[in-house]
Amino acid sequence: MKAAVWHDRLDVRIQDWPEPEPKFGEVKIAVKWCGLCGSDLHEYTDGPTKSLPSKAPHPLTGQMTPIVQGHELSGEVVKIGEGVTKLKVGDHVVVEPLIICGKCNACLAGRYNVCEKLGFHGHCGSGGGFAEFTTMPERFVHKLPDNVSYETASLFEPLCVVLHAIECGNFKLGMDAVVLGAGPIGQLQITALKAAGARRVFCIQRKSERQKFAMLAGADYLFDPAECDPVAEIKKLTDGGADISFETTASQDGWDWGIKCLRKAGTIVQIGIMMEDVHFNPGYIVDNEIRIQGIIGYRNLYPAAIQLVSDGRINIDFVITKKIFIDDLIKEGFELLLSPEKKKHSKIIVTPDKGLL
């Protein structure tokens, strides 16, 4: 089969790859669409993520590089393995791309997204969505209703990230919220907060097309730090600070603004994966009783996300700005997102089926 295979930094090849077959409890999926994520881009430029050390096999899969990339995928079930009971050939599905041990304390407590050996499909060598076919355990494959398209379903993975952020942040109806950054995750965070009943959503985003995306997502106020002091503006409008902030930029500036824009006893939810250390004064956290909440992935949220979109309570299709064929992944995907044109795009989705374009 055709697949996008990571070999080394800046070396992803579209090549022939062994077609996987389902093991016990697994289903085989013909991939229809797979989103291009920031983590895929980081892997392209900087090498394997922490879930796949370059010099050692992943503790669950035993796989070393090369690997098939892609984890935000939807498709059709084309084969089922022994032991599969809830899915059948022909089902339209979306994949929850977590690879877990199922045995550690976190897994046994139901917090499988912080499994001690956590891996992500498309990052840890278990297969990936930038391919014609992939396999996954039935537990992590969710059937789609008839009114949800494959294209829309390719956004459920990042949607579940922002829903998990809302849940972990103990967001309450009527809160004032700040979203740092208006990339794909920031846009979905804004949309989800509005659907969850935020009183007002403030977005901090430097000048680019992403400012338009933020307003399209439903932001009530937009602040460009090159033109104003966003913290001062938010504190003035909220009479002391927002209740909660969601940091998606993984930057020092985003971290600083996300903390300082809060009222006393406010909460910052860190979503962006920091590639470098940030620096802050813990005294400010203590004096203002700021709560810091990190998140990784999601758990038990795919059914809710599917229902929210199917019912029309959340519209996420606007996040997709480009659709490409897998053969064009390097030039029209990775390299485009590394160019000055990157801010003109939100989510790029990829298909191995040229007939879908």
Same domain, 248 and 333: no
Name residue 32's amino acid. K
Domain contains 299: no
Q: What is the CATH number of the domain that holds 266?
A: 3.40.50.720
- Give yes or no: residues 142 and 29 share one domain: yes
213 class by beta-carbon count within 10 Å (0-12 exposed, 13-18 middle, 19+ buried): buried
Q: Are residues 143 and 12 located together in one domain of the fold?
A: yes
User: Which two three-digit tokens encode residue 83?
Assistant: 């032991």
Q: Are residues 172 and 240 in the same domain?
A: yes
Domains held by the chain: number:
2
**Do 20 and 114 lie in a common domain?**
yes
Q: For residues 199 and 329, state if they share a domain.
A: no
CATH code, 29: 3.90.180.10
Q: pLDDT value at position 276?
A: 85
pLDDT at 58: 56
Asked whether residue 151 falls in the same domain as residue 255, the answer is no
**Residue 66: what are its φ and ψ, rounded to 5°?**
-80, 160
User: Residue 166: which domain range?
Assistant: 162-294
- One domain, residues 125 and 186: no
Please check whether residues 323 and 235 belong to one and the same domain.
no
Given phi > 0 = left and psi -120 to 50 = alpha, else beta, which region is 31? beta
Please tell me whether residues 136 and 193 are part of one structural domain: no
Instruction: Show pLDDT as tens, one digit a residue, over the chain (357 residues).
Output: 999 999 888 999 999 999 999 999 999 999 999 999 999 998 898 876 544 444 445 556 666 678 999 999 999 999 999 999 999 999 999 999 999 999 999 999 999 999 999 999 998 889 999 999 999 999 999 999 999 999 999 999 999 999 999 999 999 999 999 999 999 999 999 999 999 999 999 999 999 999 999 999 999 999 999 999 999 999 999 999 999 999 999 999 999 999 999 999 999 999 998 888 999 999 999 999 999 999 999 999 999 999 999 999 999 999 999 999 999 999 999 999 999 988 889 999 999 999 999
How far apart CA 98 and CA 120 sit, in angstroms, is: 5
Question: In this structure, which amino acid lies at residue 50?
Answer: K
Angle at 172 between CA 169 and CA 173, to 5 degrees: 145
The answer to whether 43 touches 101, Cβ cutoff 8 Å, is no
**pLDDT recorded at residue 323:** 98
pLDDT for 59: 58
Residue at 308 is within a domain: no
Does residue 286 share a domain with residue 210? yes
Residue 25 lies in a domain: yes
Examine residue 301 and state whether it is found in any structural domain, yes or no. no
Angle separating helix axes 156-168 and 184-196, nearest 10 degrees: 60
- As beta bridge partners, residue 202 has 178, 221
- Model-level pTM? 0.95
Is the same domain home to 13 and 139? yes
